[in-house]
Amino acid sequence: MISGFDRRVFHGHRRTLRSARDLESYLALNRILKKQFGQQVEKVSPPLKPASWEEAQRPQRPVLYWEDNDDDKEDWARSIAAHDKIREGLIGGLTAVEVCWSFKVGGPRESPKLKLKACTRKCLHLDPSWMDPEVGLMSARIPSWFPFPLQVGLNGREGLARPRDREGLQYVRQDNGCVWRQDYARAQALWDTPLRRNGAEWLNPVAPKLNPIHQQIFQGYRTGYDWSTYQSEGATDLVFGEAEFVRRHYRAGIEPSLATFGRADVMRLLGRQIPLNGKIPRRFASSLRSDVQERPQGVRIKQSLHGNSVKAYDQACNVRRVETTLHRVEGLRVYRPKEGGTAEDLDGRPLRQGVADLHRRAEVSQKANERYLHALATLDDSTRLEELGDDLSQPVCGHGKWFRGVRPWEPADSRLLAAISRGEFSLNGLRNRDLRPLLFDLPASSPKQARRQSARVSRLLRLLRAQGLVQKVPRTHRYQVTAPGRRALTANLAARHATIAQLAKVA
């Protein structure tokens, strides 16, 4: 197993040019009137394109206009680098007309006073790609229109290949993954090394390459780029010895994972806090999307929620990859001092978009991948349903008393099994009061009826404990589903959701 960032996308913005008020300061310092803003932009924007492509013209690197946005630009850059054997330096560039963020001058018709406001418009974008000696393949983007925000993308697998080559570590690569490595422990250490560095150290040198005339454009108004993490992918690769083992067990977990994972489960996987009652806060209105997609390498499972996602797929013949993509990090926490405070003032504070919290993004992604793998592992089982059903249906003796068997196909027991297998009970456990609303259609109308319902649920919990499906948490009123119980519940739920066509195909 090996884990680390697969892909990262960074945005470079000028903190002193993020709003209309900041732009007014820029115009004032350069003695430019608001009505002259359009003329100023048309003056400083055209020189950017020839200045940016000057480096590409010297070694005659290809610069193409990209018409089809559906194709992968990274694949194009990688193929050019492989064909021309480029190990360092510019690979080539692409141009395309797309939407960008800028400002405009306007105002209400009834008022003669001009106002500056942020807007979107279309302009030519420049997309160079180059090989960096430290991090490997890098792709970037800069619009040819004021105020020239930047975007830089890094491929973590490319960044891992460079130090491995320098140290002479052998590996076998297939597409964007490795099916074999010589020393996994050393490869993991090399992958963790960039996390100990400040991200701005290797992002700041990128800005002059993309905008060589930065000083000329912003003379009289000193400003630089502040970097933030727009999107990050934390990947965990599991490398198996046999490809058939991966295909057989991975396919077995696809449909059950979509049937059993709920919105609260995915929120917990992604590190979001859930109240002890298991209910999702009303302010969190995002919906869960789950899908299965057939790919040339195999099948991909993906669950998306609130701009973030976790997915699992076959990367190569014997490699299963789990990825957590973080785009919106509000609600996630990091143990750090507050901005401007002392280093000793540590507390759990909101995770920032800046590159200073990249290490925490890696931790959140790794924990999410581990939780997802553990969840899928409970679904990968070759035990026949007949064996599980026979074990549950037999009477058992517990604490000197005989208990009947569980009958999964009867409505009452089926409802009970579905209730205890709900996702909100997977981490915090379940209580008597949690099961009552799920097992009874109507709430208790009197204290006497409430006691009857509570006694009924207590008897059912004793039955489940005797059958080994749940166990009591010491010194609490909570119960946790056991590992054999989780396996039996998942199999029962998968069987109930399976169609005749699916069962006939398996048979």
Domain housing 399: 385-506
Which CATH number belongs to the domain containing residue 443 in this structure?
Answer: 1.10.10
The CA distances from residue 357 to 272, 324, 330, in Å, are 17, 16, 13
Nearest to 9 by CA among 235, 325, 364: 325
Distance between CA atoms of residues 191 and 122, nearest Å: 38
Number of domains present in the structure of the chain: 1
pLDDT the model gives residue 461: 92
pLDDT at 151: 92
Please tell me the distance from the alpha carbon of residue 438 to that of residue 461, in angstroms, as a whole number.
Answer: 14
Q: Residue 449 falls within a domain, yes or no?
A: yes
Q: Residue 457 phi/psi, 5° resolution?
A: -65, -35
Q: Is residue 202 part of a domain?
A: no
Q: Rounded to 10 degrees, what is the CA torsion of 237, 238, 243, 248?
A: -110
Contacts of range 216-225, beta carbons closer than 8 Å, 24 or more positions apart: 216/44, 216/47, 217/44, 217/146, 217/148, 218/26, 219/30, 220/29, 220/30, 221/16, 221/25, 221/26, 221/29, 221/30, 223/14, 223/15, 223/16, 223/17, 224/14, 225/12, 225/13, 225/14, 225/150
Q: Report the predicted TM-score, pTM, of the whole model to 2 decimal places.
A: 0.70
Asked whether the beta carbons of 150 and 139 are under 8 A apart, the reply is no
Confidence at residue 449, expressed as pLDDT on a 0 to 100 scale: 92
Is residue 321, in this structure, part of any structural domain at all? no
Residues 6+ apart with CB under 8 A from 344: 337
Residue at 21 is within a domain:
no
pLDDT of residue 448: 93
Dump the DSSP string for 435-460: HHHHH-SS--SSHHHHHHHHHHHHHH
Tens digits of residue pLDDT in 7-31: 889 999 887 888 888 888 888 888 8
pLDDT of residue 254: 56
Residue 502, domain member (yes or no): yes
Q: What is the DSSP string of 95-127?
A: EEEEEEEEEEEE--TT----EEEEEEEEEEEEE
Residue 453 in any domain: the answer is yes
DSSP states along 387-445: HHHHHHHS-EEETTEEEPPP-TTSHHHHHHHHHHT-TTHHHH-B-HHHHHHHH-SS--S
Strands annotated E in 175-307: 177-181, 226-239, 288-294, 299-305
Q: DSSP letter at 382?
A: -
Closest alpha carbon to 231 in 348, 324, 341, 312: 324
419 within domain boundaries? yes
Residue 257: count of CB within 10 angstroms of its CB:
22
- Which ranges of the chain have pLDDT less than 50? none
* DSSP element (H, E) containing 488: helix 483-497
Q: Which residue has the tokens 């074990």?
A: 391
3-state secondary structure 220-233: CCCCCCEEEEEEEE
Asked if the structure places residue 477 within a domain, the reply is: yes
